[in-house]
Amino acid sequence: MKQLALEALDSAQRPGVTYADVRVIESRDRELGTKNGKPGQVSSDESVGIGIRVLADGCWGFAATDDLTHAGVESAAALAVDIARSSALAKKHDVTLAPEAKHEATWVSPCQIDPFTVSVEEQLSLLTAVDKELRRASGVTLAQTSMIFHRSRQVFVSSIGSVIDQTRTTSGAGFEAYSFKGDQIQKRSYPNSFGGQHQLKGYELIHEIDLLQHAPRVAEEAVWLHSADQCPEGRFDLILDGSQIGLQVHESIGHPIELDRVLGSEANYAGMSFLTLDKLNHLRYGSDLVNAVCDARIEHGPGMGTFAYDDEGVPAQSNDIIRNGQFVGYMTSRETASAIGATRSNGTMRATSWARLPLIRMTNVSLLPGEQTLDEVFAGVSHAIYMETNRSWSIDDKRYNFQFGCEIGWEIKDGKRIRMLKNPTYSGITTEFWNSCSAIANRDHWVLWGVPNCGKGQPEQVIGTGHGASPARFHNIKVGAAYAG
């Protein structure tokens, strides 16, 4: 792979080219599932290809191909340069890149149990047992389980002399129990919706989340929701479980801090951001309790956004985003760093595959744990609504107004659950919401959640991101508007 990458780099360095980088990626996936006791998805996928990115005449060009013959790579390199030259038709200024050192490294993500060496029989046997357990609950009308494993090895080389060989293995698994009755479809998922939990781990993740143990409770909750009261409409203190906090962070902190979005790169599709450059170091993003980081280092945890180097050869870093409620940082790239006066990219450029261009993507954007016990989060107010596990999510194209729905809610009085609530939703404005944060549970309850389906870019790239979060409480939040009127 390294030789191929270096040959492609040579081929890309044509007249007018001031920078080039090449990624050769070999990837492997396994996807398994069951539905109502029968096999569902049973598949594997292997892919290899090369992506060549060049700066020529001051503009970007990118071409990717699965044709790894000498002629195929030459053709792709030539196309990348042609494309860059056509970009110059509408050039306003030359692209400049923040300096970056040359890096030579090999990195393999921690993986205690290689999921591809665990037999498919064993994996399907576990899913089938979980599926059976879900269907033991009378009233469950649909049981689904899934596992997904992914490994990719990427060799990155660039014209500044970097040669970086990285291998990442991710695992994910989860289940869903549906219950249809009368005029309602209710659903419960574990450990989270979006196919469960996803991390940069091997098969040890599957052991840790213990699907089988949680199946009976989750299945019963799906059925019990039919007997639950509708979530009331009004303003309440709101407590969210860690997985929902993770998605709230993703949508209302992670996306707004993408500097390419702030600068307009996504204006036609994913949108822009309310975090205009004047807000850096000036905006009160949240209450004093709110501290958020963007951290791709393995020290932060085995997240979907953990790596050693990003896809333009910048080492993984940890950066403060919100410090004691104050907005202090964006996610940047070599091209955008100078827009905030930075002299170096903070290393967040990622691509979904060899066929796609690296973009600024969330790495692990995490809400740091607070100091309160879970009991203190719940008992800190006399009356609250607690919501668990995301069911719907939506936010405007500048990331101000959001609305989330969860699978299950509970009315809380004096720290105790007094009744189950169905169809809970809440909504708000990003900065008002984070400024209303009144408690965050401590590290004992902090989990690095994986969101496997973050979309951005044209052509669209769907990538996994990490979000560390623990349960948290918010004051005076609008609840239930989605079902009102």
Partner 1 sequence: MPVEILSQSQCHEYFDSIQQAAKALGVSDVEALFGAHFGALTRFANNTIHQNVAEQDRWISIRVALDHRTARATTNRFDSDSIRAAVEQALALARSAAANPDLLPLTEPSVISETKRFDAPTAAATPEHRGRAVTEAIRIVESAGQTAAGIYSTGQSIEALFNSRGVAAWHAETMAQFSITAMADDSSGWAKASAVSRESFDPLALARSAAEKARLSHDPQEIAPGRYTVILEPAAVLDLVGQIFGDFSATAVADSRSFLTDRLGKKLFGDNIQILDDVAHPLQAGVPFDGEGVGRRKLTLVEAGVPRDLAYARSSAQRAGVEPTGHGFPLPNEVGEAPLNIVIAGGSTSLDEMIASTDRGVLVTRLWYIREVDPYEKIMTGMTRDGTFLIENGRVTRGLRNFRFNQGIIELLNNVEALSPSVRASGEEAFDMVVPAMKVRGFNFTEVTRF
Footprint on residues 150-189 left by partner 1 (CB under 8 A): 178, 180, 183-185, 187
Partners of residue 478 on adjacent β-strands: 235, 427
Site for partner 1 in 278-337 (CB under 8 A): none
Under rule CB under 8 A, residue 371 binds partner 1: no
Stretch that binds partner 1, among 100-108, 204-212, 294-302, 476-484 (CB under 8 A): 476-484
Stretch that binds partner 1, among 61-69, 317-325, 381-389, 411-419 (CB under 8 A): 61-69
Site for partner 1 in 242-271 (CB under 8 A): 263-269, 271
**CB-wise, 386 or 426, nearer to partner 1?**
426
Nearest Cα neighbor of 60 from 40, 36, 85, 37 is 85
Under rule CB under 8 A, residue 49 binds partner 1: yes
Which residue of 150, 300, 356, 473 would you call a contact of partner 1, by CB under 8 A? Answer: 356
Under rule CB under 8 A, residue 405 binds partner 1: yes
**CB-wise, 263 or 316, nearer to partner 1?**
263
Under rule CB under 8 A, residue 392 binds partner 1: yes
Which residue of 3, 38, 278, 444 would you call a contact of partner 1, by CB under 8 A? Answer: 38
Size of the site for partner 1 (CB under 8 A): 89
Minimum CB distance to partner 1, residue 204 (Å): 21
Under rule CB under 8 A, residue 63 binds partner 1: yes
Under rule CB under 8 A, residue 45 binds partner 1: yes
**CB-wise, 95 or 298, nearer to partner 1?**
95
**CB-wise, 80 or 228, nearer to partner 1?**
80
Minimum CB distance to partner 1, residue 303 (Å): 24
Under rule CB under 8 A, residue 17 binds partner 1: no
Site for partner 1 in 441-460 (CB under 8 A): 457-459
